[in-house]
Amino acid sequence: MAEVMFSSWGDEIIDNRKSGQAQDMPVKLPSSYLNEGRVGAFMGWDGIILTDKDTDVVAMAAEYMKRVQDKYCCAKCTPGKRGTRVMTDTLARIVEGHGEEADLDTLTGLGDLLDNCKCTLCMTAARPIVDSVKYFRDDYLAYIRGERKAKPAKVYRDKLTAPCMDRCPAHIDIPAYIESIKEYRFDQSLDEIRDRMPIPAVCGRVCPHPCEDACRRALIDDPVSIMVLKRVASDHEWMHHKQPPRIAKEPTGKKIIVVGAGPAGLTCAYYLALEGHKVKIIDMLSEPGGTVAVGIPDYRMPRPLLQREADIIAALGVEIEYGVKLGRDVSLRELKENYDAVFLGTGAFKSKPMGVEGEDMGYDGFSEGGIHYLRKVSLGEDIETPPRVIVVGGGNTAIDCVRVALREGCTDSILVYRRTRKEMPAEYYEVDDAEEENVQFEFLRNPTKLITENNRVVGVEVIKMELGEPDDSGRRRPVEVPGSEYIIPCDLVIPAIGQDPDLSYLEEGDYGIKQTRWNSIVTNDGTMMTDNEGVFAGGDCEYGAMTVVLAVGHGKRAAKVMHRYLTEGKVYLDEEDAMEDIVNNFGAFDKNENLGIIGGLHREHQPKIDGAERAQNYEEIELAMPESQAVREAERCLRCYRVAMVAVND
């Protein structure tokens, strides 16, 4: 990471220009940019960071504002349109040697004027300019006096972001697609979503929407319903029987095999097919979607819509073959021999053990794991759900298990979790839904032993817990209460405490693919390629069991790098990738920001089937949000764009 000579980032001033001794700073800024050279400075929404004292900050400020004005200003409000133009022209005049000292007051005053913009792009873009005038005034005066000529950096690289975009693992242009919904342009909104995500019907329903945790609207009332608005755009297309307009480019003659038709694999295949490559997907299941299909119940994600997403991808020429398992029906070695590149998106289908006495004894009434239970139910396999079920865990899979058990006919569905409800990693609204459906909760309890009779589970011994100091996850560590054990009767125990990737298909030989101690695949430097050239990986098998949207982000990144590998013979990150990673290290959301505006426009909610009676079937619980209501919700978006720029020196 680079050391800093000067920084005004976040109003924390670091100034080592006189001493010439750089120092570390908490923001992670790389010392070099791709293979282009050294990072000399960074300008963005929260100030300036100077890492090379020879960087011409005035010349950089002029170029920064020029790009803001030419590339990013929407020109929909007078302060932004006129203010950035005057600021651009003033900076250009100064750099050309025709400036006056009064221009510095003009630049500072324009910073105040831009506080009145329609959105935050121009407003935040003024921040580094004002800081440059304040902290590099002597450099400006040198230009004004004719004592200095411009010394531009070797190259400048810029990027548009927003707090929500930055937090989204797929980096969708969220303000853009919300703006389109606000203007009733639903087709355009969906097209903007598909620039970065090809499965909007899925991510409009089951995404954990980390973007909403970084929504500035939440600082004054409620976050914008970003996920549901994505669904609105998707619902508009299929409800109106429209077809996506995207067409693949001319064939390249390159063949790619994608292993896994889950979110990562479908995404990777989609973007590779658009580039004209011939893509085939193989999957061990009988339908598309991976964990989404067999691990998320239909009442959350209707499988016909998941199938539609796969059909859209297949329409680009992607072949999907089901019932083919890597390591059983075909080897990785064979795939490498027959295809120009391989993408592994094999997911995480191996349940973690609970670590309790008796779980490895093969007792009747003890499930392999939550993901296995959900898969058997979803595929209609022969599985009996008895009257009294205990599920152990606190994540979304555990919640899905207790809710599915009710739908499968059990009378007492009990969730056992070793912490409190507050610490549960499951989405809070999923927990609320489970409670409404009469799921029973046993918090601060941890299983210690299976109770059996005649080789069959009849109960679980649990011990009471209390919360101690926080652990590495930031949650308070559960501590056993000695002597507090008791038995909860049950007929079936389903452990749902997490999943690991099953990489047994790598055991046939040495493929040069490294694994982590968590049994996930190691990829290199953000390229998604393994140590075996031409073999890429992403999603849960690369990161461990995480989220749908993270898998989508992996699939998109992998497709881009694979395209370069196939067409240029090189594996590298391009400018967009590199700037994406740099900006992501900064974080564009400030939870302590004072917006200075009045809230009161509260979040719109989609219709929902309420009551415990919904647990009697698998009909979708959350219904489509009416488009008129979606437009009202879209109007709450503050359009929080920011512009970042890096100066790269020799």
Q: How confident is the model at residue 15 (pLDDT cuts 50, 70, 90)?
A: very high
Sign of CA dihedral 39, 40, 45, 47: positive
pLDDT tens digits, one per residue of 366-422:
999 999 999 999 999 989 999 999 999 999 999 999 999 999 999 999 999 999 999
pLDDT at 426: 94
Q: Do domains 255-349+501-573 and 353-497 have the same CATH topology?
A: yes
pLDDT tens digits, one per residue of 497-506:
999 999 999 8
Helices (DSSP H) in 495-619: which residue ranges?
540-543, 548-568, 575-586
Percent of the chain predicted with pLDDT > 70 = 99
Question: Strand pairing partners for 449?
Answer: 357, 461
Cα–Cα–Cα angle for 290, 293, 299, nearest 5°? 155
Cα–Cα–Cα angle for 532, 536, 539, nearest 5°? 135
Residue 24 has pLDDT above 80, yes or no: no
In the chain, the amino acid numbered 64 is Y
Tell me if 87 sits within 8 A of 63, measured CB to CB.
Answer: no
Length of the chain: 650
Over residues 104-117, the mean pLDDT reads 89
pLDDT at 289: 97
CB count in 10 Å sphere of residue 468:
10
Over residues 170-186, the mean pLDDT reads 97
Over residues 91-97, the mean pLDDT reads 96
Residue whose C-alpha is closest to residue 347's, from 519, 172, 562, 510: 519
What's the mean per-residue pLDDT of the chain? 94
pLDDT tens digits, one per residue of 429-463:
999 999 999 999 999 999 999 999 999 999 999 99
Residue whose C-alpha is closest to residue 485's, from 441, 442, 445: 445
Q: How confident is the model at residue 26 (pLDDT cuts 50, 70, 90)?
A: low
Indicate yes or no: pTM above 0.75. yes
Q: How confident is the model at residue 586 (pLDDT cuts 50, 70, 90)?
A: confident
Tell me if 426 sits within 8 A of 399, measured CB to CB.
Answer: yes
Tell me if 241 sits within 8 A of 348, measured CB to CB.
Answer: no
CB count in 10 Å sphere of residue 294:
23
Over residues 555-580, the mean pLDDT reads 96
Sign of CA dihedral 580, 258, 521, 551: positive
Tokens of 129: 């300019």
Rounded Cα–Cα distance for residues 184 and 177 (Å): 11
pLDDT at 420: 95
CB count in 10 Å sphere of residue 464:
18
CATH superfamily label, 255-349+501-573: FAD/NAD(P)-binding domain (3.50.50.60)
Tokens of 529: 């390629």
Give Cα 201 to chain centroid, integer Å.
16
Helices (DSSP H) in 569-618: which residue ranges?
575-586
What is the distance in angstroms between the CA of the first residue and the CA of the last residue of the chain?
17
CA distances from 448 to 87, 368, 632 (A): 68, 17, 51
Tokens of 78: 């007078």
Rounded Cα–Cα distance for residues 455 and 449 (Å): 14
Residue whose C-alpha is closest to residue 111's, from 126, 101, 125: 126
What's the number of CA atoms in the CB half-sphere (13 Å) around residue 439?
A: 31
Over residues 96-120, the mean pLDDT reads 91
Fold assignment, 6-164: de novo design (two linked rop proteins) (1.20.1440)
pLDDT tens digits, one per residue of 282-293:
999 999 999 999
Sign of CA dihedral 424, 426, 427, 429: negative
pLDDT at 245: 84
Rounded Cα–Cα distance for residues 407 and 488 (Å): 22
Q: How confident is the model at residue 508 (pLDDT cuts 50, 70, 90)?
A: low
Residue 27 has pLDDT above 80, yes or no: no
Over residues 301-306, the mean pLDDT reads 96
Containing H/E element for 486? strand 486-489
Rounded Cα–Cα distance for residues 298 and 21 (Å): 60
pLDDT at 80: 87
pLDDT at 509: 59
Sign of CA dihedral 333, 335, 341, 347: negative
Tell me if 8 sits within 8 A of 135, measured CB to CB.
Answer: yes
pLDDT tens digits, one per residue of 631-641:
999 999 999 99
CB count in 10 Å sphere of residue 338:
12
**DSSP code at position 72:** I
Q: Where are the domains of the chain?
A: 6-164, 167-242+588-618+627-634, 255-349+501-573, 353-497
Tell me if 131 sits within 8 A of 140, measured CB to CB.
Answer: no
CATH superfamily label, 353-497: FAD/NAD(P)-binding domain (3.50.50.60)
Q: How confident is the model at residue 510 (pLDDT cuts 50, 70, 90)?
A: low
CA distances from 160 to 173, 504, 588, 645 (A): 9, 42, 11, 9
Residue 605 has pLDDT above 90, yes or no: yes
